């Protein structure tokens, strides 16, 4: 009787783990270097538990000086809110109008050629690289104090984000319909006009709403350089140490941000998630319905959906007219400012350090330290909050609902308000800037982490549960491993954002090169402003290149 021996699996038969590549080793080294840089920045800035404990007395004193809150009279409050919303609306609308043709030129499927695409992409990157504060300083010089400079500054800067997202959305569209229209002999303009607008409309509206939220927070910052609205009122109150009025206005901004975040978030979810479900959005945009025989007419019938579309367009025009009436733009002054563009531009060139190279470099290093420290603190605190806010990780609806609500509240607080509070509590310098940005980082990164966890493949997780794995084992072996590359990308995005924000928060004394930027603009050293801008853009582009490389490597 013969027996069949089953040979045990040899080590050589087992699937070998791929050897680490040079890129992966370098990526780990860079991440460790950033971690060391964050710890070094915390130590250099003097951020520790002792520093925070020493500031508690100042925090108690500040709270005592805040209350009772001194709200403006209802009429004045309504006027400030209306002016702020009008400025933000006009800036957002301007960014959309500028971004649409630029995105068509930047998208590979609709561009006029490689040269046009490269130029459009360069303009988008440039708009994103120049901070809106610098643009506001330039436009203030051209058009004077008031709403016009803020509208133009936020509008032009927003193109960097809005046009990029529009271009990416155009490239993600199925190109079949456009090619079908092209086969009929139509021109490129006809192809774009027939195919792109209706299919891209949900993305256009959703991105505009998201940018509106961002511009509302930015308007508070621009109030410190003379733009009107609540931001200007806050700066005037805090300049004379009237914390009761300043914090009351800040609370109004917080409520506005939270309410608009909830409203715009709901609209964005309906726009971007309603296509499959055939919701009212599809009916409004006339999507997803095959034409019937009696629909084949040159002039479509005035159905309820068509009336709703026209009503939506009429609402936008009415808001435009109301916003222009509220801000009272001086068109004569605008024309004069445009005529003075060459002379004003000449004031910013050639760039010069103004004999203060050591101070500029030192302030730039402090700005980077603030960003690194804030990113480290924010990442450490955001990870548990983001995990608890993910619906596929925490099954208790009240638990993840609470943390989702907490994220909305934290994200609703403008970082400038946080910087002002921490400057009062901990004094001028980098500590205030780092702590303010770390709170904002918690709101941004925790949301991105929660969303990344919810976007993981649940089939892998269900398979492990079916094999008897516990929820903790499933989280670490399946969910976390899938989301890890996204975590790295989000953290690098946060660092990039924090460097830009750290620069801007310097205008209220929160440390870094922003303080020198504001001082240079106030004493008309515009050549120094240009030099500071070059330094800032150089650091931001370096971080962006490292971030792009890391995202490709860990993917």
Q: Where is pLDDT greater, at 34 or 3?
A: 34
Rounded distance between C-alpha atoms, residue 75 and residue 60, angstroms: 32
- Report, as an integer, the average pLDDT of 1-13: 48
Give the Å distances, CA to CA, from 165 to 104, 158, 294, 523. Answer: 11, 11, 38, 38
CA dist list (Å): 58 to 119, 251, 303, 414: 52, 20, 63, 21
Which residues does 233 contact at the CB level (< 8 Å), separation at least 6? Answer: 72, 80, 223, 249
The structural domains of the chain, ordered by start, are: 23-61+357-555 (1.10.3720.10), 71-178+185-289+304-341 (1.10.3720.10)
Check residue 98 and give its pLDDT.
92
Asked whether 160 and 127 are in contact (CB, 8 A), the reply is: yes
Q: Is the pLDDT of residue 276 over 50?
A: no
- What average pLDDT does the segment 531-537 reach? 86
How many whole angstroms separate alpha carbon 88 and alpha carbon 490?
27
196 touches 185 (CB < 8 A): no
Which of the residue ranges 91-100, 461-470, 537-546 has the most confident prediction, judged by mean pLDDT? 91-100
Burial category of 460 from C-beta neighbours within 10 Å (exposed 0-12, middle 13-18, buried 19 and up): middle
| Burial (CB count within 10 angstroms: exposed 0-12, middle 13-18, buried 19+), residue 194 | middle
User: Tell me: the pLDDT tens digits for 83-122?
Assistant: 999 999 999 999 999 998 888 888 877 777 778 888 888 8
Say if residue 289's pLDDT is above 60: no
Better-scored residue on pLDDT, 428 or 41: 41
In tens, the pLDDT along 502-514 reads: 877 777 777 778 8
Of the listed ranges 73-82, 292-301, 478-487, the one predicted with least confidence: 292-301
CA 174, 180, 183, 188 torsion-angle sign: negative
- pLDDT of residue 275 exceeding 50: no
pLDDT at 522: 78
- For residue 518, the SS3 value is helix
- What's the pLDDT band for 279 if we cut at 50, 70, 90? very low
Candidates 233, 206, 209; CA nearest to 219 is 233
Lowest-confidence pick of 2-16, 192-206, 218-232: 2-16
**pLDDT computed for residue 470 by the predictor:** 67
pLDDT at residue 161, rounded to an integer: 83
Token look-up 């302030």 returns: 363
pLDDT at position 70 over 50? yes
Predicted local distance difference test score (pLDDT) of residue 462: 67
Q: Is the pLDDT of residue 274 over 50?
A: no
Q: Which residue has the higher pLDDT, 154 or 203?
A: 154
pLDDT averaged over every residue in the chain: 77
7-14: long-range pairs with CB below 8 Å, 24+ = none
Q: Cα–Cα distance between 226 and 231 in angstroms, integer?
A: 9
Q: In the structure, what pLDDT confidence band is assigned to residue 16 with cuts at 50, 70 and 90? A: low
Tell me the per-residue pLDDT of 293-344, one tens digit each, with 9 for 90 and over. 444 444 556 666 666 667 777 888 888 888 889 888 878 888 888 888 888 8
SS (H, E, C) 263-328: HHHHHHHHHHHCCCCCCHHHHHHCCCCCCCHHHCCCCCCCCHHHHHHHHHHHHHHHHHHHHHHHHC
Q: Compute the half-sphere exposure of residue 257: CA atoms within 13 Å on the CB side of its CA.
A: 25
Mean pLDDT confidence for 50-56: 75
**Res 447: pLDDT:** 82
Q: Across 3-7, 255-259, 425-429, which has the greatest mean pLDDT?
A: 255-259
pLDDT of 129 > 50? The answer is: yes
């Amino acid at each position: 009787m013969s027996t069949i021996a089953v040979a045990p699996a040899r080590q050589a038969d087992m699937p070998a783990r791929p050897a680490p590549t040079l890129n992966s080793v370098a990526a780990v080294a860079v991440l460790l270097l950033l971690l060391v840089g964050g710890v070094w920045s915390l130590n250099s800035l003097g951020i520790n538990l002792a520093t925070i404990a020493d500031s508690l007395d100042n925090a108690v004193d500040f709270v005592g000086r805040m209350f009772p809150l001194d709200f403006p009279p209802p009429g004045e409050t309504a006027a400030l809110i209306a002016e702020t919303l009008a400025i933000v609306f006009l800036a957002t609308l301007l960014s959309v109008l500028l971004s649409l043709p630029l995105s068509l030129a930047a998208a590979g499927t609709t561009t006029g050629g490689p040269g046009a695409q490269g130029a459009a992409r360069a303009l988008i990157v440039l708009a994103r690289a120049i901070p809106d504060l610098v643009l506001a300083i330039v436009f203030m010089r051209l058009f004077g104090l008031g709403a016009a400079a803020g509208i133009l500054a936020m509008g032009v800067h927003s193109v960097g984000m809005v046009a990029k997202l529009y271009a990416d959305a155009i490239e993600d569209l199925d190109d079949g319909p456009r090619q079908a229209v092209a086969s009929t002999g139509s021109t490129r303009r006809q192809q774009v006009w027939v195919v792109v607008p209706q299919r891209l409309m949900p993305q256009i509206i959703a991105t505009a709403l998201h940018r509106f939220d961002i511009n509302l927070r930015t308007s508070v910052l621009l109030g410190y350089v003379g733009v009107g609205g609540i931001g200007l009122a806050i700066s005037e109150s805090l300049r004379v140490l009237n914390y009761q009025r300043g914090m009351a206005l800040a609370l109004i901004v917080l409520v506005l941000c939270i309410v608009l975040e909830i409203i715009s978030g709901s609209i964005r979810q309906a726009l971007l998630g309603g296509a499959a479900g055939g919701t009212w959005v599809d009916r409004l945009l006339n999507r997803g319905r095959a034409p019937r025989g009696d629909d084949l007419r040159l002039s479509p019938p005035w159905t309820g959906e068509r009336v709703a579309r026209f009503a939506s367009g009429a609402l936008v025009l009415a808001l435009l007219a109301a916003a222009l009436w509220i801000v009272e733009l001086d068109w004569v002054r605008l024309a004069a400012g445009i005529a003075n563009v060459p002379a004003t531009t000449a004031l910013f060139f050639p760039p010069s350090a103004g004999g203060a190279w050591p101070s500029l470099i030192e302030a730039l290093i402090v700005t980077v330290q603030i960003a690194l420290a804030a990113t480290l603190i924010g990442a450490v605190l955001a990870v548990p909050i983001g995990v608890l806010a993910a619906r596929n990780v925490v099954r208790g609806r009240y638990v993840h609902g609470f943390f989702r609500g907490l994220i909305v509240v934290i994200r609703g607080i403008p970082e400038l308000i946080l910087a002002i509070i921490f400057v009062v509590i901990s004094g001028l310098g980098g500590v205030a800037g780092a702590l303010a940005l770390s709170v904002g980082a918690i709101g941004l990164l925790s949301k991105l982490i929660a969303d990344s966890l919810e976007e993981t493949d649940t089939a892998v997780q269900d398979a492990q549960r079916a094999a008897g794995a516990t929820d903790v084992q499933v989280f670490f072996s399946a969910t976390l491993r899938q989301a890890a590359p996204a975590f790295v990308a989000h953290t690098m995005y946060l660092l990039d954002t924090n460097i830009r924000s750290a620069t801007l928060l310097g205008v209220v004394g929160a440390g870094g090169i922003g303080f020198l930027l504001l001082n240079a603009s106030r004493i008309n050293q515009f050549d120094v402003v240009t030099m500071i801008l070059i330094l800032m853009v150089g650091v931001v582009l370096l971080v962006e290149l490292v971030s792009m490389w890391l995202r490709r490597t860990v993917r």
